[in-house]
Amino acid sequence: DSGVTQTPKHLITATGQRVTLRCSPRSGDLSVYWYQQSLDQGLQFLIQYYNGEERAKGNILERFSAQQFPDLHSELNLSSLELGDSALYFCASSVGIGVPGELFFGEGSRLTVL
Amino acid sequence: TQLLEQSPQFLSIQEGENLTVYCNSSSVFSSLQWYRQEPGEGPVLLVTVVTGGEVKKLKRLTFQFGDARKDSSLHITAAQPGDTGLYLCAGAAGANNLFFGTGTRLTVIP
């Protein structure tokens, strides 16, 4: 158990819909990262927050947005969903703001868009 | 976006064999990490290498960071079924970004 909690574990929805994925980081971790993984491939970095502020942005689509709340949990919002958005979405947390600190990953949220 | 290419993409070997997985990039990284991911779970950190030329050993796993800090390798000696999983290298570029490689799916057959 990494200490990172993601909900929901599985989500099935239709094209055009909007979903919200939730992440609770490990106790004491201030940084939250979101990654997208398709078909058991490598992880694509989406976005990082540190203590409520956006710190880095990767290949995140404009249809996607995220935020980190004062209690440090984070949400990833995916809107106008397309078939290609089907993937595993991972949240990871770390103590500080920079690497090479260890990232602790949740078990992921599997999104299926039909 | 820094691209990390891993090879081979898939590897199936018999228990007891040795193997090497490669992680290559044209970019320089300040550090490089290796993670292993098992089905239904998130990646778990195996090791972090920071210095060019650095070699780290964890039991049967040997990790090496290239002298130019653009590539890395993971060597497993006497592979066991428990080594089965998706191996991911990840390079750090800048203070906040960790770029993951394309992954190597390893299957060790008993």
CA distance A106 to A111: 15
pLDDT category at A41 given cuts 50, 70, 90 is low
Give pLDDT, residue A9: 96
Q: Tens digits of per-residue pLDDT, B59-88?
A: 999 999 999 999 999 999 999 999 999 999
CB atoms within 10 A of CB B97: 20
Residue range A69-97: mean pLDDT, rounded: 94
Residue B95 pLDDT > 90: no
Mean pLDDT of B19-44: 93
What pLDDT score does B73 carry?
A: 97
Q: Does position B1 have pLDDT exceeding 70, yes or no?
A: no
Beta bridge partners of A65: A77
Residues 66-105, chain B, touching A (beta carbon < 8 A): 86, 88, 92, 94-103, 105
Kindly indicate the confidence band of residue A40, based on its pLDDT and cuts at 50, 70 and 90: low
Taking the CA of residue B27 and the nearest CA in chain A, the distance in Å comes to 16
Question: B110, B107, B104, B108: which is closest to B34 by C-alpha?
Answer: B104
- In terms of pLDDT, which residue wins out, B36 or A42? B36
Helix, strand, coil percent content, chain A, rounded in steps of 5: 5, 50, 45
Sheet holding B55-58, edge to edge: B5-7, B19-24, B71-76, B61-65, B55-58
Indicate the pLDDT class of residue A10, thresholds 50, 70 and 90.
very high
**Strand duo B10-14 + B104-109: pairing:** parallel
Residues 36-55 of B with CB under 8 A from A: 40-45, 48, 50
- In chain A, the residue whose alpha carbon lies closest to the alpha carbon of B31 is A100
Determine the pLDDT at residue A59: 82
pLDDT tens sequence across B34-44: 999 998 899 99
* HEC profile of chain B: CCCCEEECCEEEEECCCCEEEEEECCCCCCEEEEEEECCCCCCEEEEEECCCCCEEEECCEEEEECCCCCEEEEEECCCCHHHCEEEEEEEEECCCEEEECCCEEEEEEC
pLDDT on residue B101: 92
